Amino acid sequence: MTLIRYVTLLLVSAVVATPALAQERRVPSSAAELRLSFAPIVQRVQPAVVNVYAAKTVQNRNPLLDDPIFRRFFGVPGQQPEQMQRSLGSGVMVDASGLVVTNNHVIEGADQVKISLADKREFEAEIVLKDSRTDLAVLRIKDSREKFATLDFANSDEVLVGDVVLAIGNPFGVGQTVTQGIISALARTQVGITDYQFFIQTDAAINPGNSGGALVDMTGKLAGINTAIFSRSGGSQGIGFAIPANMVRVVVASAKSGGKAVKRPYLGARLQAVTPEIAETLGLKLPTGALVANVAPNGPAARAGLKLSDLIVGIDGQVIDDPNAFDYRFATRPLGGSAQIDVQRAGKTVKLAVPLETAPDTNRDEIVLTAPGSPFQGAKVANISPAVADELRLDASAEGVVVIDLADGGAAASVGFQKGDIIQAVNNQKIAKTSDLDKASKSQSRIWRIRVVRGGQQINVTLGG
């Protein structure tokens, strides 16, 4: 099974500030120049692009085995046959020791991961870090002491619409393939496949199997990681999306430092888009910027002086068109020091210095609920610390315990719980911390009345009976 993310929604152009030129750009001046080849660049970068093979074992579940009478006479769940599911993607070597970056959706749930080089050699790999928020993952080749070919990162803020790029990967499993195109658009923020919506769009052909492959500029550097296509057929239709190299760099840096999670700056404020109606109310000519909807007490934003209803229009000299653009720009700032944010407040521009620090992660207290017969069995839950709220895009002031993961085949996944659900009460008992839910899940109830908040909406659920 080959993988690529499909996007089927209307795209909206985003206006971006023009960066300084990173390389000379000119049109061909003669027929001879039109016959020039990309082969020297391809030969240099191709060894650093790899194929990623992922496999996981799944159990073929017979729904008849849910019937206790059928199960008694014809089998038990442990006797159900297993099947190996395989997926194929691409990856990029970013460190000579054998560190590979790819898409998280390529290796999600995998029990085994293999890396195949351009010279056909294969290696076992381990997953170092997974980041679902960016759809990136970092792998490491096992038990190897050789030095591998790598790609250097480009400064993705310097690429321009119209720049020529190459996409390298393994489409449809046919083998390593190079396609050529241009940067079609920048700062695509309406794609809807990761938390950080700020994609490079290209018309270089990207197909299933290209996920995690390289988008390379004409200096032979990594401009982005190919991750999604807009397609009605399942194949390339000239609209592909790549995660910018500056975001990839942040994830790789966290993996190199030995972290199991990506360390990013934490703002401590919730932002909302400026609609035409809001723009009219604020007296703005255009509906651009990121409006501050909430400021967490004692967070970096609050300490910097950011206030409710402030309009963020820039960060470190870069224009901010919407909350997605701010999230990307802020998340790619290095920790330590501060970022200068330009804010419009009461018709005046105010400059604020926001400290670049990680979100506090005190009293997270993660546990996996295992009580048999409980609808929560197989759910990993945590208290809502600022770090958890930031990871899951929750209100840090929300009360309850949040679901942060679900085991495949567990009762919690089967009854419909989702990652990000906040459990506030079980059988009329308030749930304030994970130990409360652990205790409640062990009760011998036949009926479970559960109050859940999902996407800001309260849901009352009754299970059993």
Residues designated catalytic: 105, 135, 211
Q: How far is CA 352 from CA 301, 310, 344, in A?
A: 9, 11, 11
Strand-pair partners of 56 = 85
Asked if 24 and 219 touch (Cβ cutoff 8 Å), the reply is no
CA-to-CA distance for 292 and 270, rounded, in angstroms? 6
Asked if 218 and 241 touch (Cβ cutoff 8 Å), the reply is no
CA-to-CA distance for 134 and 5, rounded, in angstroms? 13
Identity of residue 214: A
Q: Which of 231, 248, 232 is nearest to 240 (CA)?
A: 231
- Beta-carbon neighbour count of residue 96 at 10 Å? 12
Asked if 217 and 125 touch (Cβ cutoff 8 Å), the reply is no
The string of DSSP codes covering 102-170 is EEHHHHTT-SEEEEE-TTS-EEEEEEEEEETTTTEEEEEESS--SPPP--PBP-GGG--TT-EEEEEE-
Residue 324's contacts (CB-CB under 8 Å, 6 or more residues apart) are 189, 196, 197, 198
Sign for the CA dihedral angle at 257, 259, 264, 266 comes to: negative
- Beta-carbon neighbour count of residue 272 at 10 Å? 13
CA-to-CA distance for 436 and 439, rounded, in angstroms? 5
Q: Kindly state the tokens that stand for 457.
A: 């909406």
Q: Which of 419, 420, 412 is nearest to 461 (CA)?
A: 412
Q: Kindly state the tokens that stand for 380.
A: 């990993």
Q: Kindly state the tokens that stand for 94.
A: 């970013």
